[in-house]
Amino acid sequence: MSIKKRKKSFINSLVCVLFTITVNSSFAQYDANRFPIIPKPAQLIPTDGAFAINSQTIIFTENKSYGKEINVFRNQLQAIYGIAIQYGIAKTEKNFIYISQDSTGLPYEGYKLQIKYEGITIYGGQAGVLYALQSVFQLIRPSTGSMYAISPFSIPACTIIDQPQFSWRGIHLDVSRHFFNKENIKDYLKYMALYKLNTFHWHLTDDQGWRIEIKKYPKLTSVGAWRNGTIIGHQGQAKPQFDTLHYGGFYTQLDILEIIKFADSLHITIVPEIEMPGHALAMLAAYPELGCTQKDYKVANTWGVFEDVLCPSEKTLSFLDDVLQEVCALFPGKYIHIGGDECPKESWEKSTYCQNLMKLNNLKDENELQSWFTKKIVTMLQKKGKQAIGWDEILEGGLADGAAVMSWRGEEGGIAAAKAKHNVVMSPGTYCYFDHYQSQNENEPLAIGGYLPLENVYAYNPIPSILKAEERKYILGLQANVWTEYIPDFKQVQYMLFPRIAAEAEVGWAENTTKDFDFFLKRLMPHFYLYDRMKINYSKSIFEVKATTARAENGINVTLSTLSPKGKILFTLEGKEINYNSTAYTDPILVTGNETIKAAVFEGTIQKSNFYIQHFQSNLAFGKPVTLRKNPATAYNYGGSLTLVDGKTGRIPWLGSEWLGFSDDTLDATIDLGKEMEIHSIAISFLNDPNSWIYTPTSSLLLSSDGINFSSERCQKFTLSMSKNSIERKKYECESKARYIKIIGTSYQSIPTGFPGKGNPAWLFISEIEVN
């Protein structure tokens, strides 16, 4: 038997042995601090000893095609640890990293990794080799025990066989709302590679800016890439203010080719997005003839959804054909993202051209007109050798043959597409929108709203249980999205990305049945030191104090917790100042009246977290049982019905943890005060944020003494505050006795013309109900 055949036989035997050893121990946990690899490898067998990596280490291979993967690793080591390893062509007996050209039995992104005292051996194709080297990189530890030591560094011995669950493991970045230069984009790609993510969704165009050079249409960047002023603060404020900056930027085609080449070295595919037919104000500002109305369009300087969209004319289609020709020539990947989301139909309804086009093509409504338009674009791309992918709205009116769907409004769109045998990328806001807050702390930087903590990201399973086995193959994977309305610079991009990117990566790589959040947290802790070395501005939200509430006999119990495996929670009551001598938290805190809790995580005398501060305002309904006729939407049901009587008033910008959200339904909530009481007033907090399709409902209040017979005649309603974007406080003045209080709220079943979200069911958000 030749040496080459013996080597191949050994490799195959090794695979069989390892699979046999681990088949019954795939859930076994190893020392997380010693092997903090994220995403978790499919199989890892710890062994004794460690490999010392230093400037005398030689990395070599007989296959020159692995050169770019080797260079990526060498550059990482030099930049982060100051280790300059050698690139050799001849094998040494020790202190080596050997990359075998034998990838027998391994999938494209799979790898085998053996780390021993004398050296490291890697088997895999090019992508697999890169991922193996990233695993090696994550295992590097200072031998002295301090992560900040300069040298020497060691890598613990083990054997790993690994491969991903999904082929699409993506991260998105919106560069329209705020622009990030090409060096920022390269850093973003490095972060992706660190966690073995392989698809970069580049959101290049939107209402607030066009960011890609199109040589045939230079005004797309000379006009469309720039806006005059940007809204300051949150869109939800009553009287918005604007700065006076001429803001913008774009990527030349040379910039894009440079970034594509860089991404290729990291085995990352770039999917560019050209939004159409909605979210196109920047395009219309540059070429107003593409609109249904000839007027002076402006690049948007606020956020949200705008009525002005592309007219589905032959002129527009010809224009987009030219644009897509240049886009397709630049990007080598299979998919081009065509947007398709949040396209208001008002301008089409008013357009004689659009109405005639609908009659000519037997289209029954404007949704079918958008489907007709989308099918034209899909065909264009197919002729150019590309495949279209769009947001799940492209399902409305009929899905074009060959189009893939990115499901963001929950999973329903993705499920429908998979059942129709279309490829799907799951990206629901509940689990994948990284522009949402990741902490309930008041010191969090301004965000659009919502609440997506690390544990929720990790909890996601991209394969809906409702799908049959033969339908599940259409789920390509998942993607997290970073929308940048409230992310003005790259430091804040980092903050919103880390450490949630690590959780998303593990969801996309590891089998769902092998996930364990506590084990993930233990492996995550050493990554914070790596982030420090990489000078990443990461969120420390996992060290924060979190609070949950539960009904108690005479009020509510407040349970404090932290994800941090180190330190302890200290707290005070009555708003007193907190320090390392404060009371250690052990059991739920009973709150029976007005109270202010302060808490923080301490490690010895060192405060590790920001302060948690929560004010509780007591009233007659405080902690009382609430019955809901129907449950809120899953994404906005953080505290259940207790949210309405927990003594905490919802804030703007709104956090998902302070509000209950209902869609396409009537709110019907009944509070049981426990006994008949004198009632003088009842105040209810509703959210009004039309740009998020959240509208204040029409409401009514009914009282009852027996829970059966309700009357609305005993209270007079007043509106305490109301503006375009605010919390509306509705107050009912009553002079009556009652035990039961019923609140009925009805929002738009179909948002009317002239309002954001026209034609869609409105959201109804409610927070505290105060009874005095």
- 376-432: per-residue pLDDT in tens? 999 999 999 999 999 999 999 899 999 999 999 999 999 999 999 999 999 999 999
- Whether 397 contacts 368, CB under 8 Å: yes
For 590, the 3-state DSSP assignment is strand
Residue range 550-568: average pLDDT? 91
Torsions phi, psi for 544 (to 5 deg): -70, 160
pLDDT surpasses 80 at 438: yes
Q: What is the pTM of this model?
A: 0.91
Write down the mean pLDDT value for the chain: 91
Instruction: Please report, for the chain, the start and end positions of each structural domain, with discontinuous segments joined by +.
Output: 3-162, 168-541, 544-616, 661-771
Q: Looking at the annotation, which residues are catalytic? A: 206, 279, 342
pLDDT tens across 151-162, in order?
489 999 999 999
pLDDT surpasses 60 at 75: yes
Residue range 678-687: average pLDDT? 90
Residue range 121-125: average pLDDT? 97
CATH class name, domain 661-771 = mainly beta
Calpha distance 105→701 (Å, rounded): 68
Apex 254 CA angle, 248 and 255, nearest 5: 45
Residue range 564-571: average pLDDT? 90
Calpha distance 22→42 (Å, rounded): 9
- Whether 270 contacts 260, CB under 8 Å: yes
168-541 in CATH: which number? 3.20.20.80
Which one has a higher pLDDT value, 474 or 758? 474
- Whether 694 contacts 755, CB under 8 Å: no
3-162 in CATH: which number? 3.30.379.10
Calpha distance 19→42 (Å, rounded): 10
pLDDT surpasses 70 at 300: yes
pLDDT surpasses 50 at 665: yes
The pLDDT score that the predictor gives to residue 3 is 36
Residue range 464-479: average pLDDT? 97
Which one has a higher pLDDT value, 753 or 409? 409
| DSSP of 688-713 | EBGGGTB-PPEEEEEEESSSSS-BST
DSSP 8-state symbol, 334? S
544-616 under CATH 3.30.200, yes or no:
no
Residue range 346-351: average pLDDT? 94
